[in-house]
Amino acid sequence: MLYVDRVMLSGFRSYENMQLNVGANSVVLTGENGSGKTNLLEALSFLSPGRGLRGAKLCDVSKIGGSEPWAVSARLMTPEGMRQMGSGLVSRQDLSSETSADRRIARLDGETLSSPAPFGDILQVAWLTPQMDRLFVEGASGRRQFLDRLVVAYHPTHARQVNSYEKVMRERAKLLSEGNPDPVWVSSLEKSMAEHGVAVAAARLDAISKLSQAILESQTAFPRAHLSLDGELEEGLLKYPAVEVEADFCQRLITMRAVDGHSGRTSIGPHKSDLRVRHVDKNMPAELCSTGEQKALLIGITLASARLSVNQFGAPPLLLLDEVAAHLDGERRASLFDELMDIGSQVWLTGTDKSLFDQMQKRAKFFHFESGKIQED
């Protein structure tokens, strides 16, 4: 089993300093809204690459009025032994005078890393939040981010490919917007975009295929979902070899230079792709399902992905489930808890009503938040 044994925060959101020792248990956090439950889950989400479960700017995570930049550290127990992970905001006085952007620092077993990307080689983190309940009816960006977090479990370098693609895309857009760019340099960027872009699309397709099969094979109380991708590169890869799709994408980028330079954005590529989800038993697009059905579909996808991660990654992911039990009936809630325990993940659950977690009494460690303090129940 892979689990967070201890977590420590400083200058993070509502926390000046906090330490929580939990051992191998799953964790239930209860308390009123605004008491700091979700802040703790967000802190744990920074044990993975990216901007955490809120997608916040790094500077916004710091405690209001705090004098020091935020930091999160954790002691992990892994099949290979104990590991120390940490992440935080670099103090502005430690930044180069030429650097104005906030920067995140990452540390692993006492060594400073160039980025938090290696975290994904040690620990997989997945989460569901109330804000994700509208995932299927809002813009495609949120669905892509949700999908890409799932893909990392099966392709550990996927996040780096996405970041590399987006970095080169921004550089190309900047050059084109300035007018009369060096054609050799732009061509080099477009070649790199094509390489990273096709790698991103191929990883997404492979993950979708594996996850769809896992969903069909799941014994679960949650509705089955059929997943597909709506994107030019993904559609091309289903018909042609990757090398042909890459060459075609590169050529199309060349023909779109004038349009992209005028608009200031890239017209085509995997950053435009969309995740499509259908409710299998109803044969209905997820966006047309009821709010409750949409949430149940999300839970079902997350559970199937966690099961698959055990085989693909070698250990279950850390699951952060914010208010996930609030709108489930008693039978489905009990099924959720049974399935979570069967997967073997360390699960962190939050809620305002402790009674919702009665079935977890002997399966988890309970903490209650009140008046800015955390007490073990």
Looking at the fold, whether 54 and 161 belong to one and the same domain comes out as no
Looking at the fold, whether 354 and 332 belong to one and the same domain comes out as yes
Q: Which domain holds residue 281?
A: 134-314
Largest CA distance in the chain: 67
Looking at the fold, whether 217 and 294 belong to one and the same domain comes out as yes
Asked which of 299, 314, 329 is the last residue of a domain, the reply is 314
Q: Is 115 left (phi over 0), alpha (psi -120 to 50) or beta?
A: beta
The single residue listed with the structure tokens 């490919």 is 161
Q: Are 300 and 222 in contact (CB under 8 A)?
A: yes
Residue type, 274: D
Looking at the fold, whether 290 and 342 belong to one and the same domain comes out as no
CA separation for the pair 314, 87 (Å, rounded): 24
Number of domains observed in the structure of the chain: 2
Q: Are 365 and 329 in contact (CB under 8 A)?
A: no
Looking at the fold, whether 187 and 286 belong to one and the same domain comes out as yes
CATH number at residue 50: 3.40.50.300
CA separation for the pair 295, 300 (Å, rounded): 9
Looking at the fold, whether 295 and 353 belong to one and the same domain comes out as no
Looking at the fold, whether 293 and 160 belong to one and the same domain comes out as yes
CA separation for the pair 316, 165 (Å, rounded): 28
138 falls within a domain? yes
Measured between its terminal Cα atoms, the distance across the chain in Å is: 24
Asked which of 291, 314, 337 is the last residue of a domain, the reply is 314
What confidence score (pLDDT) does residue 97 get?
43
Residue 160 scores a pLDDT above 50: yes
Q: Are 347 and 4 in contact (CB under 8 A)?
A: no
CATH number at residue 210: 1.20.1050.90
CA separation for the pair 366, 377 (Å, rounded): 5
Looking at the fold, whether 328 and 358 belong to one and the same domain comes out as yes
Residue 302 scores a pLDDT above 80: yes
Query: In 3D, which of 337, 344, 348 has the Cα closest to residue 79?
Result: 344
Helix, strand, or coil (residue 53): coil
129 falls within a domain? no
In 221-299, DSSP assigns E strands to 225-230, 274-279, 284-285
User: What does the pLDDT look like over 279-293, one tens digit per residue?
Assistant: 999 999 999 999 999
Q: Are 35 and 369 in contact (CB under 8 A)?
A: yes
User: What does the pLDDT look like over 45-104, one tens digit per residue?
Assistant: 999 988 899 998 888 898 877 768 899 999 999 988 999 999 999 865 544 444 446 789
What confidence score (pLDDT) does residue 91 get?
63
Mean pLDDT calculated for residue range 7-34: 94
Backbone dihedral angles phi then psi of residue 129, each to the nearest 5 degrees? -130, 160
What confidence score (pLDDT) does residue 217 get?
87
Mean pLDDT calculated for residue range 300-324: 91
Please provide the average confidence, as pLDDT, over all residues in the chain. Answer: 92
Residue type, 204: R
Looking at the fold, whether 161 and 302 belong to one and the same domain comes out as yes
Looking at the fold, whether 102 and 14 belong to one and the same domain comes out as yes
Name which residue leads in pLDDT, 315 or 251. 251
How would you write 292-323 as a 3-class SS string?
A: HHHHHHHHHHHHHHHHHHHHHHCCCCEEEEEC
Looking at the fold, whether 216 and 255 belong to one and the same domain comes out as yes
Backbone dihedral angles phi then psi of residue 134, each to the nearest 5 degrees? -100, 20
Looking at the fold, whether 160 and 278 belong to one and the same domain comes out as yes
Asked which of 274, 290, 314 is the last residue of a domain, the reply is 314
Q: Which residues contact 174 (CB under 8 A, 6 or more apart)?
A: none
What confidence score (pLDDT) does residue 93 get?
53
% of the chain beyond a pLDDT of 70:
97
Q: Which of 11-25, 60-74, 140-154, 354-368 has the lowest mean pLDDT?
A: 60-74
